[in-house]
Each structure stands twice: as structure tokens, then as C-alpha cells.
């Protein structure tokens, strides 16, 4: 698989990464551990070298899973993990309080190193911006960890352009991770110009619109009570019915090229910028193989324009997060 570089610090990863959260959390009950280990091995064997996890996923269980699964490939894969969203062990189904105090960042780093079974964290993201801690203090804490050899690269997640600039001035930011897809194009106006100016990579999560852009769900799809999509306004039954028009656009575009809607959604992101690395997640081998096929789909600038023109005419309904979570993004 082709590789791409995130930031100016030499962080090179596969053009398509792997989001591991759903193996343990948020998309229904945790999956069988051995099956997920086998799937992660299959991803590596197919050329994926970039894997994404976080302390809060599980909580803690996802880092442990990723650490165990990827231990045989240490040195040949890149693992990104996150701090700053302190897990509450007594309330594992909900996001808990933010905490990006420098002393806490140091504690999380030590614990993540053990769970991931590595000597240094490849990419350490602040999971959400903590307004109680100046971003300069956060960047400074990660800078110290980099100087100590415990972290290699610094990242941010769902941060605003202003916050990115302030952090980058203290410690160069290798990558921003935020939601970005044909289902959510807001980053094009809010952060992508800043990333391009500063030479920061972009790692879109939910590149398939939390599964919606695959065409595998419709208004009648039922979500498990542990599936956080059941709380998202954009995924209400009525809004899915309305938003299906976007999937229809992508499906038609894909059919004309003999590929799947998921492959078009990923190919579109890869065609946007050479420093964009999507991290679709899955728990099924057939979906992994389908996603990897998106790397082989080359869209011309004209293709991108046609797809964007058609999809822009669809009026999407529903917020992308519940209110409590909406307050934590773009800060």
C-alpha cells in the first residue's frame, strides 16, 4: 500500500489506517477478543501500518487489545492513542470528564505505554480540548514527553484553527484527528486551510459517516442500546430517511465505476489532499477488504467536482452529536 506523511516530523503511515474503537466500545457490545486480534493481524498483512485507539475506549480495554495484537509487529506499525478524556470505570458506557492537566497527561502516558506494550507512543493526541487547561501547557507537557523519548509525535482532536496554531507554536503538531466525510464537510472551511499552511496532517475519523455512507443501513435499521448512534440526532429514523438522498448520490456514482459506496467515500478523501489519512473502523474481514479497495480507486479532479456538486445539493438533517458532546468540539 502507498504511504503518506503526517506533519513535517517524518511520521509515515499507510494511506489508509484502521480505527479500532468499535472493537471494544460505542458500536454495540465488545467483540470477541481473539477474532479482533486476528482481524488486526489481517490488516497488517494487507499493508495497514497505522492504528488508532484511546485510553477512554473501553475504557482501557481497546489499548490493551491493540497492544496485544500488534506486539508481534512492534517497530513496523504506528499506533496513535489519546489522553485527556478521563475514563470513569463506574460508567463505561458514557464519555466522562475532561482532564488535560500536565500531571495527568504524564500519568496517562505511562499507563498507555504499558497497555500498548511499546517503549514510545508514536502519536499522542489530546482527545478533546480542555478549556480549564491552556493549550500551551498541554503542548508543553507533550513536548517534555517527546524530549524524554516516551512520545514521538503530538496530535490534537476536534480542535479549532486557533487552538491548533497556539499548540503548534509550542510543540509542532503532526496531525489533527477530526470527523470528516461526505456526510460532514465542515473541516473544509474551519481547519483544513490552517493544516495546509502549517504542514499538519489530517486523520479523518468516521470517514464512512459512522457506517451510513456504506449504504448498509436505512431508516429501518435498529441500533443496540450500547450503540452510541442511537443518541445522535443525525441518526434518528426520520433524519436517516431524509439523509438517504446523499447515499443514493454516492451509490449511483459508485455503480457507474463498478465499485462500492464505501470505496468512493474513502477515495474521495484520499483525493482531497496527499496528507489526509482516513481511519475507517470495522470488525469484519470482508469490510476491511472492501475499505482497502478504496485505496485503488483513483478519482480525478473532475470526478471529485462532480461528486461534490451532486452531494452538495442534498440538504442533510440532524446534528452530528448530542448536545453535551457538541459543546466539546471545535474549541
Question: Which residues are the active-site residues?
Answer: 57
Q: For strand 11-14 and strand 3-6, is the pairing parallel, antiparallel, or unpaired?
A: antiparallel
Report the relative pairing of strands 18-19 and 11-14 from DSSP bridges: unpaired
User: 19 is written with which cell numbers?
Assistant: 480505527
Rounded Cα distance between 221 and 272, Å, is 31
Question: Quick one: DSSP state of residue 258?
Answer: T
62, 132, 156, 225, 232 from 77: Cα distances, Å: 16, 34, 20, 34, 33
**Which of 130, 111, 124 shows the shortest CA–CA distance to 154?**
124
Q: In the chain, where do the E strands start and end?
A: 3-6, 11-14, 18-19, 50-52, 78-83, 121-126, 151-157, 173-179, 201-205
- Show the cell assigned to 126: 489530546
Q: For the chain, what's the residue count? A: 331
Burial class (CB in 10 A: 0-12, 13-18, 19+), 110: exposed
Give me the sign of the Cα torsion angle 136, 181, 271, 51.
positive
Beta-bridged to residue 87, according to DSSP, are none
Q: 178 pairs with which residues across the strands?
A: 204
Residues 6+ apart with CB under 8 A from 292: 1, 16, 46, 47, 48
Strand partners, 18: 51
Amino acid at each position: 500500500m502507498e504511504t503518506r506523511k503526517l506533519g513535517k516530523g517524518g511520521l509515515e503511515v499507510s494511506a489508509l489506517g484502521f480505527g479500532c474503537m468499535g472493537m471494544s466500545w460505542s458500536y454495540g457490545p465488545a467483540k470477541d477478543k481473539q477474532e479482533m486480534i486476528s482481524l488486526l493481524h489481517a490488516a497488517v498483512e494487507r499493508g495497514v501500518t497505522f492504528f488508532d485507539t484511546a485510553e477512554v475506549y473501553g475504557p482501557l480495554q481497546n489499548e490493551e487489545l491493540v497492544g496485544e495484537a500488534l506486539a508481534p509487529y512492534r517497530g513496523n506499525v504506528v499506533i496513535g492513542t489519546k489522553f485527556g478524556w478521563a475514563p470513569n470505570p463506574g460508567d463505561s458506557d458514557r464519555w466522562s470528564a475532561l482532564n488535560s492537566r500536565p500531571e495527568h497527561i504524564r500519568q496517562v502516558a505511562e499507563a498507555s505505554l504499558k497497555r500498548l506494550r511499546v517503549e514510545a507512543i508514536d502519536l499522542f493526541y489530546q482527545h478533546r480540548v480542555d478549556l480549564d487547561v491552556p493549550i500551551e501547557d498541554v503542548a508543553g507537557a507533550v513536548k517534555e514527553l517527546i524530549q524524554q523519548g516516551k512520545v514521538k509525535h503530538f496530535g490534537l482532536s476536534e480542535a479549532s484553527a486557533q487552538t491548533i496554531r497556539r499548540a503548534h507554536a509550542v510543540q509542532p503538531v503532526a496531525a489533527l484527528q477530526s470527523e470528516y466525510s461526505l456526510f460532514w464537510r465542515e473541516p473544509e472551511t474551519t481547519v483544513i486551510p490552517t493544516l495546509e499552511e502549517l504542514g499538519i496532517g489530517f486523520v479523518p475519523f468516521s470517514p464512512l459517516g459512522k457506517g451510513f455512507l456504506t449504504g448498509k443501513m436505512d431508516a429501518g435499521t435498529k441500533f443496540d442500546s450500547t450503540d452510541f448512534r442511537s443518541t445522535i440526532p443525525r441518526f434518528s429514523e426520520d433524519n436517516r430517511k431524509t439523509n438517504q438522498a446523499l447515499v443514493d448520490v454516492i451509490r449511483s456514482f459508485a455503480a457507474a465505476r463498478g465499485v462500492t459506496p464505501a470505496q468512493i467515500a474513502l477515495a474521495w478523501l484520499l483525493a482531497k489532499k496527499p496528507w489526509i489519512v482516513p481511519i475507517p473502523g470495522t470488525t469484519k474481514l470482508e469490510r476491511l477488504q472492501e475499505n482497502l479497495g478504496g485505496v485503488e480507486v483513483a478519482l480525478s479532479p473532475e470526478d471529485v467536482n462532480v461528486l461534490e456538486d451532486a452531494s452538495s445539493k442534498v440538504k442533510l438533517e440532524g446534528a452530528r452529536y448530542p448536545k453535551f458532546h457538541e459543546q466539546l468540539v471545535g474549541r
